[in-house]
Structure 1
Protein backbone atom coordinates (compact mmCIF):
# COMPACT_ATOMS: atom_id res chain seq x y z
CA UNK A 1 0.00 0.00 0.00
CA UNK A 2 1.35 3.41 -0.94
CA UNK A 3 0.55 6.66 0.85
CA UNK A 4 -0.03 9.71 -1.33
CA UNK A 5 1.45 11.98 1.36
CA UNK A 6 5.18 12.69 0.85
CA UNK A 7 7.06 10.75 3.51
CA UNK A 8 8.78 13.80 4.95
CA UNK A 9 5.42 15.25 5.99
CA UNK A 10 4.84 12.26 8.27
CA UNK A 11 8.27 12.45 9.89
CA UNK A 12 8.33 13.98 13.37
CA UNK A 13 11.38 16.04 14.29
CA UNK A 14 11.47 14.38 17.74
CA UNK A 15 9.98 11.19 19.14
CA UNK A 16 9.63 11.11 22.93
CA UNK A 17 8.08 8.87 25.56
CA UNK A 18 6.16 11.47 27.57
CA UNK A 19 5.39 15.18 27.63
CA UNK A 20 7.53 15.49 30.76
CA UNK A 21 10.51 15.06 28.42
CA UNK A 22 9.68 18.56 27.15
CA UNK A 23 11.42 21.03 29.45
CA UNK A 24 12.40 24.67 29.09
CA UNK A 25 15.90 23.46 28.10
CA UNK A 26 14.44 21.09 25.47
CA UNK A 27 12.51 24.03 23.99
CA UNK A 28 15.45 26.46 24.13
CA UNK A 29 17.74 23.97 22.34
CA UNK A 30 15.23 23.86 19.49
CA UNK A 31 14.47 27.59 19.38
CA UNK A 32 10.85 27.04 20.46
CA UNK A 33 8.83 29.63 22.37
CA UNK A 34 5.41 27.99 22.16
CA UNK A 35 3.64 24.65 21.93
CA UNK A 36 0.41 23.46 20.40
CA UNK A 37 -0.69 20.47 22.44
CA UNK A 38 -3.00 17.62 21.56
CA UNK A 39 -5.28 16.48 24.39
CA UNK A 40 -6.30 12.83 24.19
CA UNK A 41 -3.48 10.35 24.76
CA UNK A 42 -0.94 13.20 24.75
CA UNK A 43 -1.78 15.20 27.89
CA UNK A 44 -4.64 13.12 29.29
CA UNK A 45 -5.65 9.48 28.66
CA UNK A 46 -8.36 9.21 26.01
CA UNK A 47 -11.80 10.05 27.42
CA UNK A 48 -10.56 10.75 30.96
CA UNK A 49 -11.79 13.67 33.04
CA UNK A 50 -9.58 12.75 35.97
CA UNK A 51 -7.24 15.56 36.96
CA UNK A 52 -3.56 14.91 36.44
CA UNK A 53 -1.55 16.97 38.94
CA UNK A 54 1.67 16.09 37.10
CA UNK A 55 0.35 17.55 33.84
CA UNK A 56 -0.95 20.65 35.59
CA UNK A 57 2.49 21.21 37.21
CA UNK A 58 4.29 20.56 33.91
CA UNK A 59 2.14 23.12 32.06
CA UNK A 60 2.48 25.67 34.88
CA UNK A 61 6.27 25.21 34.89
CA UNK A 62 6.45 25.82 31.13
CA UNK A 63 4.22 28.89 31.38
CA UNK A 64 6.42 30.29 34.20
CA UNK A 65 9.35 29.87 31.78
CA UNK A 66 7.42 32.11 29.30
CA UNK A 67 6.37 29.24 27.01
CA UNK A 68 3.09 29.99 25.24
CA UNK A 69 0.72 27.01 25.28
CA UNK A 70 -2.38 26.27 23.24
CA UNK A 71 -4.61 23.16 23.22
CA UNK A 72 -5.37 21.99 19.67
CA UNK A 73 -7.64 18.97 19.86
CA UNK A 74 -10.06 17.04 17.71
CA UNK A 75 -12.00 16.14 20.88
CA UNK A 76 -15.46 17.58 21.34
CA UNK A 77 -15.69 21.25 22.12
CA UNK A 78 -17.18 20.45 25.52
CA UNK A 79 -14.29 18.13 26.43
CA UNK A 80 -11.67 20.61 25.19
CA UNK A 81 -13.30 23.48 27.17
CA UNK A 82 -13.25 21.35 30.33
CA UNK A 83 -9.49 20.83 29.98
CA UNK A 84 -8.71 24.37 28.83
CA UNK A 85 -10.33 25.61 32.05
CA UNK A 86 -8.33 23.13 34.14
CA UNK A 87 -5.01 23.69 32.38
CA UNK A 88 -5.25 27.47 32.38
CA UNK A 89 -4.39 28.22 28.76
CA UNK A 90 -6.33 28.76 25.54
CA UNK A 91 -7.38 26.12 23.08
CA UNK A 92 -10.10 24.58 20.96
CA UNK A 93 -11.79 21.27 20.33
CA UNK A 94 -13.11 19.96 17.02
CA UNK A 95 -10.03 21.57 15.45
CA UNK A 96 -10.14 19.56 12.24
CA UNK A 97 -6.53 18.36 12.37
CA UNK A 98 -4.60 17.83 10.13
CA UNK A 99 -6.09 20.78 8.22
CA UNK A 100 -3.35 23.45 8.30
CA UNK A 101 -5.99 26.16 8.79
CA UNK A 102 -6.52 24.94 12.37
CA UNK A 103 -2.78 25.19 13.04
CA UNK A 104 -2.55 28.68 11.51
CA UNK A 105 -5.42 29.91 13.70
CA UNK A 106 -3.68 28.52 16.79
CA UNK A 107 -0.37 30.11 15.74
CA UNK A 108 -2.14 33.46 15.35
CA UNK A 109 -3.52 33.09 18.87
CA UNK A 110 0.00 32.48 20.21
CA UNK A 111 1.31 35.39 18.12
CA UNK A 112 4.41 33.40 17.16
CA UNK A 113 5.81 32.29 13.81
CA UNK A 114 5.50 28.57 12.99
CA UNK A 115 9.27 28.02 13.24
CA UNK A 116 9.13 28.97 16.95
CA UNK A 117 6.25 26.63 17.84
CA UNK A 118 6.21 22.88 18.40
CA UNK A 119 3.21 20.67 17.74
CA UNK A 120 3.09 17.87 20.32
CA UNK A 121 0.78 14.93 19.80
CA UNK A 122 0.42 11.17 19.72
CA UNK A 123 -0.74 10.68 16.11
CA UNK A 124 1.19 10.90 12.85
CA UNK A 125 -1.80 11.49 10.59
CA UNK A 126 -3.29 14.38 12.55
CA UNK A 127 -0.69 16.00 14.81
CA UNK A 128 2.56 15.41 12.92
CA UNK A 129 1.13 15.79 9.42
CA UNK A 130 -0.76 18.98 10.29
CA UNK A 131 2.17 20.47 12.17
CA UNK A 132 4.56 19.74 9.31
CA UNK A 133 2.13 21.17 6.75
CA UNK A 134 2.00 24.36 8.84
CA UNK A 135 5.82 24.56 9.01
CA UNK A 136 6.08 23.76 12.71
CA UNK A 137 8.55 21.68 14.74
CA UNK A 138 6.76 18.37 15.34
CA UNK A 139 7.09 16.13 18.39
CA UNK A 140 5.48 12.69 18.51
CA UNK A 141 4.76 11.42 22.01
CA UNK A 142 3.97 7.83 22.95
CA UNK A 143 0.19 7.49 23.51
CA UNK A 144 -0.87 7.39 27.17
CA UNK A 145 -3.54 4.75 26.60
CA UNK A 146 -4.62 2.26 23.99
CA UNK A 147 -7.62 3.72 22.19
CA UNK A 148 -10.32 1.24 21.25
CA UNK A 149 -11.82 3.35 18.44
CA UNK A 150 -11.62 1.34 15.19
CA UNK A 151 -10.21 4.18 13.08
CA UNK A 152 -7.51 4.88 15.68
CA UNK A 153 -6.50 1.19 15.81
CA UNK A 154 -6.16 1.17 12.02
CA UNK A 155 -4.14 4.42 12.08
CA UNK A 156 -1.81 2.98 14.73
CA UNK A 157 -0.90 0.07 12.42
CA UNK A 158 -0.04 2.48 9.62
CA UNK A 159 1.89 4.71 12.04
CA UNK A 160 4.06 1.77 13.14
CA UNK A 161 4.89 0.98 9.51
CA UNK A 162 5.81 4.61 8.74
CA UNK A 163 7.86 5.03 11.91
CA UNK A 164 9.70 1.77 11.25
CA UNK A 165 10.89 3.26 7.94
CA UNK A 166 12.36 6.13 10.00
CA UNK A 167 14.11 3.72 12.37
CA UNK A 168 11.66 3.94 15.29
CA UNK A 169 10.26 0.80 16.92
CA UNK A 170 7.00 2.31 18.13
CA UNK A 171 4.67 0.35 20.35
CA UNK A 172 1.97 2.23 22.28
Structure 2
Protein backbone atom coordinates (compact mmCIF):
# COMPACT_ATOMS: atom_id res chain seq x y z
CA UNK A 1 0.00 0.00 0.00
CA UNK A 2 1.32 3.38 -1.02
CA UNK A 3 0.40 6.76 0.44
CA UNK A 4 -0.53 7.71 -3.14
CA UNK A 5 -3.50 5.33 -2.89
CA UNK A 6 -5.13 7.90 -0.60
CA UNK A 7 -4.37 11.04 -2.61
CA UNK A 8 -7.54 12.52 -4.12
CA UNK A 9 -7.49 13.68 -7.73
CA UNK A 10 -9.44 16.81 -6.71
CA UNK A 11 -10.48 18.42 -3.44
CA UNK A 12 -13.55 20.65 -3.23
CA UNK A 13 -15.34 22.06 -0.23
CA UNK A 14 -18.70 20.41 -0.97
CA UNK A 15 -20.33 18.23 -3.61
CA UNK A 16 -22.33 21.32 -4.67
CA UNK A 17 -19.03 22.93 -5.78
CA UNK A 18 -18.85 20.42 -8.63
CA UNK A 19 -20.33 22.22 -11.63
CA UNK A 20 -21.67 20.31 -14.62
CA UNK A 21 -19.67 22.45 -17.06
CA UNK A 22 -16.39 21.65 -15.27
CA UNK A 23 -17.15 17.93 -15.06
CA UNK A 24 -17.94 17.77 -18.77
CA UNK A 25 -14.69 19.61 -19.59
CA UNK A 26 -12.89 16.78 -17.78
CA UNK A 27 -14.86 14.18 -19.77
CA UNK A 28 -16.90 13.15 -16.73
CA UNK A 29 -20.42 11.89 -17.49
CA UNK A 30 -21.11 10.01 -14.26
CA UNK A 31 -20.71 10.99 -10.61
CA UNK A 32 -20.61 8.24 -8.04
CA UNK A 33 -21.24 9.90 -4.72
CA UNK A 34 -21.02 8.75 -1.13
CA UNK A 35 -24.16 9.35 0.93
CA UNK A 36 -23.39 10.24 4.55
CA UNK A 37 -21.56 13.52 5.15
CA UNK A 38 -21.05 13.92 1.38
CA UNK A 39 -24.48 14.18 -0.24
CA UNK A 40 -26.41 14.55 3.01
CA UNK A 41 -25.44 14.99 6.64
CA UNK A 42 -25.45 11.55 8.26
CA UNK A 43 -27.89 12.80 10.90
CA UNK A 44 -30.22 14.60 8.42
CA UNK A 45 -31.56 11.98 6.01
CA UNK A 46 -33.76 14.46 4.14
CA UNK A 47 -30.91 16.50 2.69
CA UNK A 48 -31.09 20.16 1.73
CA UNK A 49 -32.31 22.43 -1.06
CA UNK A 50 -28.66 22.69 -2.19
CA UNK A 51 -28.57 18.93 -2.84
CA UNK A 52 -31.77 19.11 -4.86
CA UNK A 53 -30.43 22.00 -6.96
CA UNK A 54 -27.13 20.18 -7.57
CA UNK A 55 -28.89 16.99 -8.64
CA UNK A 56 -31.13 19.02 -10.96
CA UNK A 57 -28.05 20.68 -12.51
CA UNK A 58 -26.41 17.29 -13.13
CA UNK A 59 -29.62 15.83 -14.59
CA UNK A 60 -30.06 18.80 -16.94
CA UNK A 61 -26.46 18.32 -18.14
CA UNK A 62 -27.10 14.58 -18.67
CA UNK A 63 -24.55 13.62 -16.01
CA UNK A 64 -25.59 10.44 -14.21
CA UNK A 65 -25.54 10.35 -10.42
CA UNK A 66 -25.32 7.07 -8.53
CA UNK A 67 -25.04 6.98 -4.75
CA UNK A 68 -22.44 4.41 -3.68
CA UNK A 69 -22.77 3.84 0.05
CA UNK A 70 -21.60 1.33 2.61
CA UNK A 71 -24.95 1.69 4.37
CA UNK A 72 -27.65 -0.96 4.30
CA UNK A 73 -30.25 -0.99 1.53
CA UNK A 74 -33.16 0.40 3.57
CA UNK A 75 -31.14 3.39 4.83
CA UNK A 76 -29.85 4.36 1.38
CA UNK A 77 -33.18 3.74 -0.33
CA UNK A 78 -34.99 6.01 2.13
CA UNK A 79 -32.41 8.78 1.71
CA UNK A 80 -32.26 8.76 -2.09
CA UNK A 81 -35.98 8.26 -2.67
CA UNK A 82 -36.41 12.01 -2.20
CA UNK A 83 -33.91 12.72 -4.99
CA UNK A 84 -34.80 10.13 -7.61
CA UNK A 85 -31.25 8.85 -8.10
CA UNK A 86 -30.04 5.28 -8.34
CA UNK A 87 -27.85 3.72 -5.67
CA UNK A 88 -25.64 0.83 -4.69
CA UNK A 89 -25.85 -0.09 -1.00
CA UNK A 90 -23.39 -2.18 1.01
CA UNK A 91 -20.68 -0.99 -1.39
CA UNK A 92 -17.89 -2.34 0.85
CA UNK A 93 -15.59 0.64 0.27
CA UNK A 94 -12.53 0.69 0.38
CA UNK A 95 -13.04 -2.32 -1.90
CA UNK A 96 -14.31 -1.75 -5.42
CA UNK A 97 -17.54 -3.76 -5.20
CA UNK A 98 -19.97 -0.82 -5.20
CA UNK A 99 -18.08 1.19 -7.79
CA UNK A 100 -17.86 -1.81 -10.13
CA UNK A 101 -21.58 -2.57 -9.74
CA UNK A 102 -22.48 1.03 -10.64
CA UNK A 103 -20.09 1.11 -13.60
CA UNK A 104 -21.31 -2.23 -14.97
CA UNK A 105 -24.97 -1.34 -14.46
CA UNK A 106 -24.62 1.72 -16.69
CA UNK A 107 -21.73 0.71 -18.91
CA UNK A 108 -19.54 3.56 -17.68
CA UNK A 109 -15.86 3.47 -18.60
CA UNK A 110 -13.31 4.45 -15.92
CA UNK A 111 -12.29 7.65 -17.73
CA UNK A 112 -15.83 9.11 -17.62
CA UNK A 113 -16.54 8.40 -13.94
CA UNK A 114 -15.59 10.23 -10.76
CA UNK A 115 -16.13 9.18 -7.14
CA UNK A 116 -16.99 11.86 -4.59
CA UNK A 117 -16.66 11.25 -0.87
CA UNK A 118 -15.60 12.67 2.46
CA UNK A 119 -13.21 9.91 3.57
CA UNK A 120 -9.71 9.09 2.39
CA UNK A 121 -9.88 5.61 3.93
CA UNK A 122 -13.00 4.46 2.08
CA UNK A 123 -14.07 6.69 -0.82
CA UNK A 124 -10.70 7.82 -2.15
CA UNK A 125 -9.02 4.44 -1.57
CA UNK A 126 -11.86 2.63 -3.41
CA UNK A 127 -11.55 5.09 -6.32
CA UNK A 128 -7.86 4.32 -6.74
CA UNK A 129 -8.49 0.60 -6.59
CA UNK A 130 -11.20 0.94 -9.25
CA UNK A 131 -8.96 3.05 -11.49
CA UNK A 132 -11.18 6.15 -11.48
CA UNK A 133 -10.65 9.78 -10.51
CA UNK A 134 -11.74 10.99 -7.08
CA UNK A 135 -12.97 14.09 -5.31
CA UNK A 136 -12.51 14.56 -1.58
CA UNK A 137 -15.06 16.88 0.04
CA UNK A 138 -15.21 18.27 3.55
CA UNK A 139 -17.68 16.35 5.72
CA UNK A 140 -21.02 18.18 5.86
CA UNK A 141 -21.12 17.92 9.65
CA UNK A 142 -18.27 17.50 12.10
CA UNK A 143 -19.93 14.70 14.05
CA UNK A 144 -19.71 11.17 12.70
CA UNK A 145 -21.49 7.89 13.14
CA UNK A 146 -19.59 5.62 15.54
CA UNK A 147 -18.07 3.47 12.79
CA UNK A 148 -16.64 6.50 10.96
CA UNK A 149 -14.85 7.86 14.03
CA UNK A 150 -12.27 5.08 13.84
CA UNK A 151 -11.56 5.87 10.19
CA UNK A 152 -11.15 9.57 10.98
CA UNK A 153 -8.44 8.75 13.52
CA UNK A 154 -6.49 6.71 10.93
CA UNK A 155 -7.19 9.35 8.30
CA UNK A 156 -5.36 12.05 10.27
CA UNK A 157 -2.15 9.96 10.08
CA UNK A 158 -2.58 9.45 6.33
CA UNK A 159 -3.30 13.19 5.86
CA UNK A 160 -0.01 14.10 7.58
CA UNK A 161 1.89 11.67 5.34
CA UNK A 162 0.22 13.08 2.21
CA UNK A 163 1.11 16.64 3.22
CA UNK A 164 4.69 15.63 4.01
CA UNK A 165 5.01 14.23 0.49
CA UNK A 166 2.93 16.74 -1.51
CA UNK A 167 2.72 19.88 0.63
CA UNK A 168 -0.39 21.44 2.10
CA UNK A 169 -3.63 19.97 0.76
CA UNK A 170 -6.34 22.59 0.20
CA UNK A 171 -9.98 22.43 -0.75
CA UNK A 172 -11.05 24.39 -3.82
CA UNK A 173 -14.37 25.84 -4.98
CA UNK A 174 -14.39 23.70 -8.13
CA UNK A 175 -12.28 21.35 -10.24
Q: Could you tell me the TM-score, scaled by structure 2's length?
A: 0.87
Residue 168 of structure 2 is matched in structure 1 by 168
Cα displacement (A) at 1:170: 6.3
Encode CA deviations 1:73-131: one digit per residue, 9 max, x unaligned. Answer: 11222110012211111102221111112211111123210111000000011101101
Is the aligned partner of 1:52 residue 2:48? Answer: yes
| 3-state SS, counterpart of residue 140 of structure 1 | strand
What is the total number of aligned residue pairs between the two structures? 167
Q: Matched residues in 2 for 1:51 and 1:148: separation?
A: 16
When residues 168 and 73 of structure 1 are mapped into structure 2, their CA distance, relative to the original with a 3 A threshold, is: farther
Pair 1:61-2:57 in alignment = yes
RMSD: 1.8
- Structure 2: segments with no counterpart, 5+ residues: none
Partner of 2:29: 33
Once residues 162 and 19 of structure 1 are traced to their aligned partners in structure 2, the CA distance between those partners, rounded to angstroms, is 25
Q: Provide Cα deviations, 1:120-161, integer angstroms capped at 9, x if missing partner.
A: 000011101101111111110111112252313313423432
After superposition, give the CA deviation of every residue in 1:43-94 in whole Å (9 maximum; x if it has no partner): 1112322331110111111011000110001122211001221111110222
SS in structure 2 of the partner of residue 9 of structure 1 = helix
Could you list the runs of 5+ residues in structure 1 that have no partner in the other structure?
none
Provide the C-alpha distance between the structure 1 equivalents of 2:90 and 2:49, rounded to a whole number of angstroms: 25
CA–CA distance in 2 between the matches of 1:148 and 1:82? 18
- Once the two structures are superposed, the pairs formed by residues 1-172 of structure 1 within 5 Å of their partners are 5-146=1-142, 147=144, 149=146, 150-165=149-164, 166-169=166-169
Q: TM-score, normalised to structure 1's length?
A: 0.88
Preserved CA contact (<8 Å) 1:73 1:94: yes
